């Protein structure tokens, strides 16, 4: 029995020694971190050099001009909007649901939302054109049929888009 206890006691002693050694290093690390604080002594100086005004006399005017350009409304930077093809796909799917139930206004809104999340989506453009045609907005329908053909001139539904354009042309010609 004593033979079994000796290895157990030795294991406990070594484990205790190891744990005491681990805890003694942490205060040293903490004191080292305390020495490297964010006080003024350790801050990085980012101010310009003393002779910067002489070496670059027109730099303040150039920076002021750039800041002034950023404030003008004539900037060539445009607003970003989210690009989410999965949301667009879901909007087309929901739009199809409404279209099958002849709720063209709801379908129209979903197809527009699909184009918001994914510009130049061919299917959304075609379906939007079909909705516009059903609702009687011939000019918008023509625009979206042409947009589909611009994206996919030989696409799966190109014949339908051409047929839609022909129907619109006939309706416009007969109205005159």
For the chain, the domains span 85-175
Check residue 20 and give its pLDDT: 61
Contact (CB, 8 A) for 91 and 124: yes
pLDDT per 10-residue tile (average), the chain, 176 residues: 69 68 56 57 73 76 67 61 91 97 97 95 97 96 96 95 95 80
Q: In whole angstroms, give the CA distance from residue 148 to residue 44.
A: 57
Q: What is the pLDDT of residue 5?
A: 78
pLDDT given for residue 138 in this prediction = 94
* CA dist., res. 98 & res. 66, Å (int): 50
Alpha-carbon distance of 57 to 68, in angstroms, equals: 19
Q: What is the pLDDT of residue 81?
A: 74
CATH 1.25.40.10 is held by the domain 85-175: yes
Task: Report if pTM > 0.95.
Answer: no
Residue 55 confidence (pLDDT): 78
Angle (nearest 5°) at CA 18 between 17 and 22:
115
pLDDT of residue 6: 77
Q: What is the 3-state secondary structure (H, E, C) of the chain?
A: CHHHHHHHHHHHHHHHHHHHHHHHHHHHHHHHHHHCCCCCCCCCCCCCCCCHHHHCCCHHHHHHHHHHHHHCCCCCCCCCCCCCHHHHHHHHHHHHHHHHCCCHHHHHHHHHHHHHHCCCCHHHHHHHHHHHHHHCCHHHHHHHHHHHHHHCCCCCCHHHHHHHHHHHHHHHHHHC
Tell me what pLDDT residue 152 has: 95
pLDDT at residue 113, as a whole number: 96
Task: Give the per-residue pLDDT at 173.
Answer: 83
What's the confidence (pLDDT) of residue 145? Answer: 97
pLDDT, position 157: 96
């Amino acid at each position: 029995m004593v033979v079994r206890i000796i290895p157990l006691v030795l294991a406990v002693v070594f484990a205790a020694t190891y744990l005491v050694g681990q805890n003694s290093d942490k205060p040293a690390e903490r004191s080292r971190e305390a020495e490297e604080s964010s006080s003024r002594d350790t801050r990085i100086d980012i101010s310009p050099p003393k002779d910067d005004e002489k070496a670059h006399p027109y730099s303040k005017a150039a920076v002021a001009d750039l800041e002034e350009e950023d404030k003008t409304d004539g900037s060539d930077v445009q607003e970003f909007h989210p690009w989410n093809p999965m949301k667009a796909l879901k909007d087309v799917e929901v739009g199809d649901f409404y279209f099958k139930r002849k709720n063209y206004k709801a379908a129209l809104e979903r197809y527009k939302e699909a184009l918001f999340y994914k510009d130049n989506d061919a299917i959304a453009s075609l379906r939007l054109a079909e909705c516009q045609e059903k609702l009687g907005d011939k000019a918008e329908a023509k625009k979206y049929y042409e947009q589909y053909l611009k994206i996919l001139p030989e696409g799966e539904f190109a014949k339908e888009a051409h047929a839609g354009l022909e129907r619109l042309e006939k309706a416009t010609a007969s109205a005159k």
